[in-house]
Amino acid sequence: MAEIVGVRFKRAGRVYYFDPAGFDLEVNDYVVVNTVRGLELGHVVASPKQVLDSETGRSLKSVVRKAEPEDIKRAQELEDKEREALAECSKLTIKLHLPMKLLSAEYNLDGGRLTFFFSAAERVDFRELVRELSKRFKVRVELRQVGARDESKLIGGFGRCGHPLCCMSFLSEFSPVSIRMA
């Protein structure tokens, strides 16, 4: 048996499972976990529970620690820097005549990696943009192109029914939709 805890990184993002590593965690706690992007601040959305080893599929990464007030303060400071980075990147895309729509920017918790999310109708050669951004921010920069549904999730909005978009509020994963289904 393995113990797992559900952690979400974005408001309507996917839930990822981690080994609680002996920490006494409850829903609504904040935790620091090590992901492929580095250290990230996550929000516990599913309390620790026991599952069969076969259900986890692969070895789980562990929670590094319960978030301390400094971690939460650091995340808030990085949010301000993300807004500045997005504005700066927007200026550069205009200067370089890149046909892309910037959606959001995210720093990881240690501030060593900055990821920009964008949408575009076609493939965009953004190598020059990455070089300029790396020079300007002195961190590792990644650009990720997202589809229309992910774009809606990132920027938000309201559906025809008048409620917030489903992908923003409760849909965390998108299943492919065929033309016949649409």
d(CA 156, CA 5): 27
Asked if residues 127 and 92 have their Cβ atoms less than 8 Å apart, the reply is: no
pTM value? Answer: 0.78
Q: Write the DSSP symbol of residue 173.
A: S
Q: Is the model's pLDDT at 136 over the cut of 60? A: yes
Mean pLDDT on 146-159: 71
**Helix, strand, coil tally for the chain in percent (to 5):** 30, 30, 40
- Binned at pLDDT 50, 70 and 90, residue 12 comes out as low
Percent of the chain with pLDDT over 70: 82
Tokens of residue 177, six digits: 């939709």
Pick the CATH number of 73-146 from 3.40.50, 2.60.120, 3.30.300, 3.40.5: 3.30.300
Q: Three-state DSSP class for 81?
A: helix
Location of each CATH 3.30.300 domain in the chain: 73-146
